[in-house]
Amino acid sequence: MRIDVNGAELYVETFGDPDDPPMLLIGVTVLTWPDELCKALTGRYVVRYDLRDAGRSTFADPEAPQYDLRDLATDAAELLTSLNLGPAHVAGLGVGGFIAQLLALDHSDQVASLTLVSTRPVAPGPVDPDLPDHDPDVMGKLFGRPQPDWTDRDAVVDYMTEGAKLLAGSRGFDEADVRATAGRIFDRAEPTPKAQAASHLGIMFAAIDCAPRWRERLREIAVPTLVVHGDEDPFFPHGNAVALAEEIPGASLLTLRGVGQGLPRVTWPTVTDALLRHTS
């Protein structure tokens, strides 16, 4: 379904019984959070959606977005209000974790608990001196590759699969899953290079205004918080998770051994159990 919020139309999918406690999952597209993982969150009413300029939501120009990071947090808050869900358990993965942190800070009445997966406490750009930055060798390989023809499905799937392998960690790469997800992301996005790149890479985050900083406000977060992070993440290295867990009052840290960026299939039993316990 599509829902109008904050001047944009967001594509939304749900799983489970609307009478169960709501859980909002934030990524770049709905497929950031795998179907099987969503279905395994039994006893929760799971909501996931495409950000602006990604998937099937409002698409304008991800290279020159007319919104900022605070608008994306307001989108999430207004989405919960539109669905009449009240305070929800909120989980953000990767750059979706930026939105989740701001949702908990600026729209605290909408958040019952917070889960931050594979993310960090500062926005894109130069990292704070005490935080580990992207692994330079992996980033060189990841961004030094020629980009594919974004209108060629096979080329895009190959490109995304190669990139996922670089970020996966020693036990996090499942080629079949990665290829299937990349193909579905391609099929859902508009058939233009900008739309495809935005849906696969979240390129809008390189252009949107993320100021002001929010790391200094993390101690204002007053809801139960779980930080989930792979110890082999080369994109947002594990030290970022340690900082989040230390700076958010009462937060707990779940470290996924041998895992890089994201939530590969090998982690689903552990992560599902942790999410259900955290939101009980």
Tell the residue number behind the tokens 């605070």, with chain if given. 70
Closest by CA to 25, choosing from 9, 13, 42, 16, is 13
- pLDDT of res. 191: 84
pTM for this model (two decimals) = 0.97
Rounded CA-CA distance 199/76 in Å is 18
Ranges in the chain, pLDDT < 70: none
- pLDDT of res. 203: 87
- Give Cβ neighbours of residue 12 (< 8 Å, ≥ 6 apart): 1, 2, 3, 47, 48, 49, 79, 83
Closest by CA to 177, choosing from 267, 48, 55, 271, is 267
- pLDDT of res. 10: 98
- pLDDT of res. 111: 98
pLDDT digits 0-9 by tens, 256-269: 999 999 999 999 99
pLDDT digits 0-9 by tens, 205-216: 989 999 999 999
